[in-house]
Structure 1
Amino acid sequence: MTARETSPFAVRTQRSGARFVATCRGEMDMTTCDLLFAAVLPGVTDTATDRVTVDLADVTFLSASGLRTLLLLLCAAHHNGKSFDLHHTQPQVRRVLDLFGFTTFKAGLVWQATMSPKGHHN
């Protein structure tokens, strides 16, 4: 069985000026994370992009693998000087993000980038 047969998942990407948006649909789990990562990484590394948004309005399930992929993309965006946001999260997806501290982790990266002395960045 393929990832599509076990968990229909799709990512549609769009660039608009300096903004890159990935709109996801379906279940984000270990069988679909590579697709998500491959779809969003070009927006993270594009020098013309300064904001990356992942729209999760139609994501019905988020596994630990999906969370890990979002964290990897968040870290990559931070490393490349981009803002990274999740929009339109469903309650069941928001709960996973909150339980594992996604928002707190993101806030820590933002604080580090804006408030810590410039000489201490790696």
Structure 2
Amino acid sequence: MSAEACDPSPFAIRTSRSGTRFVVTCRGEVDVTTCDAFFAAVLPGIADSGTRRVAIDLGGVTFLSASGLRILLLLLCACHYNGKEFDLCNVPPRVRRVLDLFGFTTFKAGLVWEATMSPVSRRH
């Protein structure tokens, strides 16, 4: 077996804009080694006042680690805080399973934000 056969697919990120929709397309493994680059690629779309919806296309993702899940949660909350809609698109079955197991596909960002991050909900 060659070394190439054992190497994971390289991680790649592509961003695009379609009207008020900011799209981030990922390929490869979303794990502790790629999360910073992933977060950095999405953040400008969230910060842009012309963006209404941030869409993450996971069609080319081969693996999603707990670190990757954490980044998705942070991005979801950042979108909510900034008044943006957040979508996951083209989620492969193995990635969907991880998201489902952790309840990512069923919880609401607003509830998480209000319960954990909102200055109004913090009591001193």
| Structure 1 residue 109: Cα displacement | 2.6
| Aligned equivalent of 2:10, options 2, 5, 8 | 8
Q: Deviations over 1:46-98 (max 9, x none)?
A: 10000000000000000000000000000000000000010001111000000
Q: Considering fraction of residues, name the structure with more helix.
A: 1
| Structure 1 residue 8: Cα displacement | 1.1
- Alpha-carbon RMSD across the aligned residues, in angstroms, is 2.1
Indicate if the aligned counterparts of 2:22 and 2:54 stay in contact, CA closer than 8 A.
Answer: yes
| Aligned equivalent of 1:82, options 68, 72, 84 | 84
Q: Which runs of 5+ in 2 are unaligned?
A: 1-6, 114-119
Please say if 1:18 is aligned against 2:17. no
Q: Which runs of 5+ in 1 are unaligned?
A: 114-119
Q: What SS class does the counterpart of residue 105 from structure 2 fall into?
A: helix
Q: What SS class does the counterpart of residue 24 from structure 1 fall into?
A: strand
Q: 4+ residue stretches of structure 1 with deviation over 6 A?
A: none
Whichever of the two has the greater Rg, that structure is 2
Q: Within 5 A, what are the aligned runs for 1:39-78?
A: 39-78=41-80
**Paired positions, count:** 110
| Structure 1 residue 112: Cα displacement | 8.6
The change in CA–CA distance for 1:104 and 1:8 in structure 2 (over 3 A counts) is same
Aligned-pair identity (%): 66
